[in-house]
Structure 1
């Protein structure tokens, strides 16, 4: 087994909230501020951040991947989405920090009601997007208060043992995995921005820069990013702002003379040189500080969606084939794990950590595995009802008979990224468990088999997955599908399937998850997740139609199915899927796993 990729140490202690809030408030008083905004972000606005940027976790003990806190002199609040509703209450000191719903209320509405008149609310302009600050400014002004941009972050001034920024080496993503040269990508995007009357494009998103330059890195957990900034010019040349410690002769040769290297400290001064230029930046991903700097320098700022995001999402044939290969390796590991779990769990003695470690061990037998794609969500019984549960030594539960165990996990391979969730019964399920699981499965199949016209957005497909649950008065509080990168982030945009009105149409080459679920707080949770590729229908009819190709290969637990709830078409899909899983994986696994596969994929 390779190195342990996931830690199960305690990463949250509510007892730290009081002293850390005290330190921050003292620093705010020294700066003449009455409050401060603390987002879970870094200067690059990515989902995964390096340890030195985990300011929200340091302050509140909340360790989720999305959220924001507002600290005033006499009160504080934290805002998280539906994935973390239960988790946040178990991590923060509820006597000091009030949890709120990020979507239903949000910090803006809370500040309108709670910000004192004439209060000065500080924020770090490098940690908020331009769009976010514009929205928050409007809310704060309604309360008669003002937002104040801080030149330095007050948390950094009081965080005594703040880690150093990362300096991991960036590496080249070779052509045989990227499928397109960096030069061609830069030319393609440069032509796009030039056609829109733009002289340059500012890039801060680490996945966009990784895709554009065909590089990868190791600056953040589980995601192969090299944190940096970039400016792409309309002639196809670029300025790249990266710590010199992260570069190598191979990397320099790979990019050639058309990419000029600078230190990160030079980024803001180079923005000043764009006076008189029309410069594009995405207000939903680029920091507010960038817009302020460009405007002050005299540039014309053109607000536009980051064009690299859509181009990156529509993967080429080489990337799609790489994703299929990565899922084949992952399917072998999952089959071995599920076989092992079925044999060992009924004996007793297994717990959430042991199960996660064993799955990691099976994945690590592949010489290609570079990391997990995220910390595995290994959740027994009531913990399975927490969609983004993180197991630690103190929270670790045993896996018991007649209870549900949920494992959401994935791997990073040089040619692809995986993400899969399976829900397993140990022993005998209750009738309610079978009903709920079957409804989730019906929704999963409805989405997997959907055919839809070109131009359809994910929001238009979301109800396909929810209908069987809605029929019984049930639902789930997370999205149904998120984009997945090709050896990049396990969560990528702009594609999405959810209730949120995101207008981006699903396009050929996009990889997206199909993961409806159901959660009964305090008892159990269910989620079935496969990754699918958007592709053109072979027989489209009168117009261009799209459909999904499922690329995840792992059995779905038929012991949790109530066959009477399924249609013949649904049974046929499941049987065909299981037949493909069995056919593809059986020649590649040991005899015990092969025998288990034969039983686990038996037709219903």
Structure 2
């Protein structure tokens, strides 16, 4: 079905339901960032497949809101289409709420699927639109009856993550959560986040591509734990283990009935940004509700000793996989043709060839020349560029290992690097190093650290539009809260034990894109005059491109840092490599 036909049929359906506008988000019933194909309704209607974006359709207009990472890609997808692109984050771009207030009139009705709309968003829209006498119908499923070949909901099997990987039993984790519940005065905790459930119960699955999650809900009270999951998804052995830990298994579809029947003396805790409004509106209004950040979030973000030791091992394997990949690519491109699309399978092959690697942690971003400037570019077979032996190639990729989750970006020169490319690469690298070497007092937030990565670019009138760093899970999501390093990252401090990305970049539309990314572990550094000071241990192990570094722009301290890092890369990866691979790596890590 053509995009225009989909929108026409949607408007017919809206008219029958008495709706004047609908919102189609990118998420699933658990407010996930990355979702199974079953819930990709926004992509089905709009043709835009980026992970972030919201489609709004009125009786005579439609618009797609997405962030900086997808401005160029979304613009290309929406060419010659009625859907207007709204670049979220720009001062001149109206919010979806402002757009609706301007384009709906008194007595109109907005519709959406309440299972895909967070409680916090629902309340925000409801509060504002009521002022304009605009009502909301949160029971409207826009794809029902239209998306005929819609994929079935995911049905992968859950599997156990042993304590040798998780570092803590599910029983001990549940005890810690109950202590936090008591601390906030709650006796019932509704957990909607798939990553939080996976971490708490030490289970993983394959319901979401690249992220080892299992679709489920969890309700923890002071005496019982109830897991809501499709029965077929639990192998018998795992079910026995969960029941041994005091966990009662319920069918996924009865979560709503369970919430309706919660006793009036319950004191319920949930995160309104995570729990969908369909479920939250089922809670009896006489029950006391406490809302805040998921209680699991902080526990999950601070990695234990076992997890930290394991992730160091995963980084060695991941770095070795990249050496094997880049060495083979460098050799084969002399005689073979590669496109951005056909290069990806070679990268996957090398990574999955390492012991303990289960999958990639996201679809690799491979951008050659001007496509590197598309921040979260996704190459397809038809439009992918042919990679030639000149210009810059940006590759952002990662792996899911039992020992942890990796995420690395390297930009390399394929030959004939220009003065501008070398300058831009070196400035990005300088910011990357400044952040790597940071020492900061306990309680510092990502917003306070962010300037370190941007300062070298700012000095040349340059900047990048995305955050500098995001949290990373342990054999979970490649994006994890609560911390981030960005101008807006002021809510959560960077704590000891957190793993965060360090990824400044620069994107010159029509020319090139540069990003350099390592994962860093926050560690104790020293006892300061009044408080503890923290710093970063760089976890990722793969060399920078020496051909793109202008050493004249680097300080002595920065040069020493690069040389020491390259020495560590060479030492720790050598045991995974052949003699030829070690010789290749020796050249790539030579001293500046």
User: What's the TM-score, normalizing by structure 1?
Assistant: 0.95
| 1:251 aligned to which of 215, 218, 238 | 238
From 10, 15, 22, the equivalent of 1:36 is: 22
After TM superposition, list the pairs within 5 Å mapping 1:82-97 onto structure 2: 82-92=68-78, 94-97=80-83
Runs of 4+ in 1 over 6 A off after TM superposition: none
Match of 1:376 among 342, 364, 371: 364
* Uncovered stretches (5+) of structure 2, i.e. residues with no partner: none
Q: Contact 1:346–1:400 at 8 Å: present in 2 too? A: no
Counterpart selection for 2:275 from 262, 268, 286? 286
Indicate conservation of the 8 Å contact 1:295/1:301, yes or no: no
CA distance in 1, matches of 2:434, 2:107: 53
Distance 2:106 2:334 in 1: 61
Residue equivalent to 1:221: 209
Secondary structure of the residue aligned to 2:115 is: coil
- In structure 1, the residue matched to 2:228 is 241
**How big is the shift at 1:226?**
0.5
2:219·2:225 contact (CA, 8 Å) conserved in 1? yes
2-structure distance, mates of 1:185, 1:368? 24
Give the structure 2 partner of residue 70 of structure 1: 56
Deviates more, 1:189-198 or 1:373-382: 189-198
Q: What are the equivalent positions in structure 2 for 1:540-551 lying under 5 Å apart?
A: 540=528, 542-551=530-539
Report if the CA contact (8 A) 1:76-1:98 is conserved.
yes
Whether the 8 Å CA contact 1:363–1:411 is kept in 2: the answer is yes
Q: CA deviation at 1:541?
A: 5.3
- Does the residue aligned with 1:378 lie in a helix, a strand or coil? strand
**Structure 1 residues 535-561: Cα deviation after superposition (integer angstroms, max 9, x where no partner):** 111465552011111110001001111
State whether residues 525 and 533 of structure 2, in contact with CA within 8 Å, keep that contact through their aligned partners in structure 1: yes
- 3-state SS of paired residue (2:357): coil
Q: CA deviation at 1:429?
A: 0.8
Retained in 2: the 8 A contact 1:130–1:287?
yes
Equivalent position of 2:417 in the other structure: 429
Equivalents in 1 of 2:306, 2:497: separation in Å?
10
| Counterparts in 2 of 1:435 and 1:346: CA distance versus 1, 3 Å | farther
**1:22 CA drift (Å):** 1.2
Q: 1:39–1:148: structure 2 CA closer, same or farther, 3 Å change rule? A: same
* 1:387 to 2:375 alignment: yes
Aligned residue for 1:408, secondary structure, equals strand
* Alignment partner, residue 232 of structure 1: 220
* TM superposition shift of 1:299: 1.9
* Matched residue count: 587
**Does residue 261 of the first structure (1) align with residue 249 of the second (2)?**
yes
Aligned to 2:65: 79
| 8 Å Cα contact 1:109-1:139 kept in structure 2 | no
State which drifts further: 477-486 or 495-504: 495-504
Q: CA deviation at 1:196?
A: 1.6
1:94 Cα offset (Å): 4.8
Inter-partner Cα distance in structure 2 for 1:254 and 1:91: 48
Q: Distance in 2 between matches of 1:477 and 1:112?
A: 28
* Alpha-carbon distance, 1:354 to partner: 2.9
Q: 1:202, 1:230 within 8 Å by CA — same for their partners in 2?
A: yes
Aligned to 1:149: 138
- Per the TM alignment, residue 517 of structure 1 is displaced from its structure 2 partner at its CA by 0.2
Whether the aligned pair in 1 keeps the contact of 2:31 and 2:273 (CA below 8 Å) is no
Question: 1:301-312 maps to which residues of 2 (within 5 A)?
Answer: 301-312=289-300
User: Are 2:190 and 1:205 aligned?
Assistant: no
State the secondary structure of the residue aligned to 1:328.
helix
Q: Distance in 1 between matches of 2:58 and 2:109?
A: 10
Shift of 1:273: 1.6
Question: Normalising by structure 2, what TM-score?
Answer: 0.97
Structure 1 CA distance for aligned equivalents of residues 156 and 375 of structure 2: 31
Could you list the per-position Cα deviations for residues 256-293 of structure 1 after superposition, in whole angstroms to 9, with x for gaps in the alignment?
25111111111001001223111011011111122211
1:508 to partner: Cα distance: 1.2
CA distance in 2, matches of 1:264, 1:424: 47
Is the aligned partner of 1:559 residue 2:519? no
Out of 87, 108, 129, the residue aligned to residue 118 of structure 2 is 129
1:408–1:501 CA distance, 2 compared to 1 (3 A): closer
Question: Pick from 41, 46, 51: which aligns with 2:37?
Answer: 51
Contact 1:410 1:419 in 2 (8 A): yes
2:197, 2:344 → 1: CA distance? 32
| Aligned mates of 1:254, 1:453 — CA distance in 2 | 42
Q: Are the counterparts in 2 of residues 231 and 238 from structure 1 also a CA contact under 8 Å?
A: yes
Correspondence for 2:470 among 456, 475, 482: 482
1:166 is matched with 154
Conserved? CA contact 1:156–1:162, under 8 Å: no
Q: Residues 255, 442 of structure 1: CA spacing in aligned structure 2 closer, same or farther, 3 A cutoff?
A: same
Matches within 5 A, 1:177-188: 177-188=165-176
Cα distance in 2 for residues equivalent to 1:438 and 1:416: 30
Q: Matched residues in 1 for 2:347 and 2:527: separation?
A: 40
Deviation of the 1:93 alpha carbon: 5.0
CA RMSD of aligned residues (A): 1.5
> Is the 1:198–1:279 Cα contact (8 Å) retained in structure 2?
yes
Deviation of 1:80 after TM superposition, in Å, equals 0.4
Distance apart, 1:317 and its partner CA: 0.5
Contact 1:452 1:545 in 2 (8 A): yes
- Alignment check: 8 A CA contact 2:526 2:532 kept: no
Equivalent residue for 1:108?
97
For the residues of structure 2 that align with 1:101 and 1:188, how far apart are their CA atoms? 42
Output the CA distance in 2 between the equivalents of 1:502 and 1:273. 39
CA distance, structure 2, for counterparts of residue 429 and residue 93 of structure 1 = 32
- Equivalent residues in 2 for 1:186-585 (5 A)? 186-235=174-223, 237-257=224-244, 258-276=246-264, 277-296=266-285, 298-347=286-335, 349-538=337-526, 540=528, 542-585=530-573
Offset of 1:116 from its aligned partner? 3.1
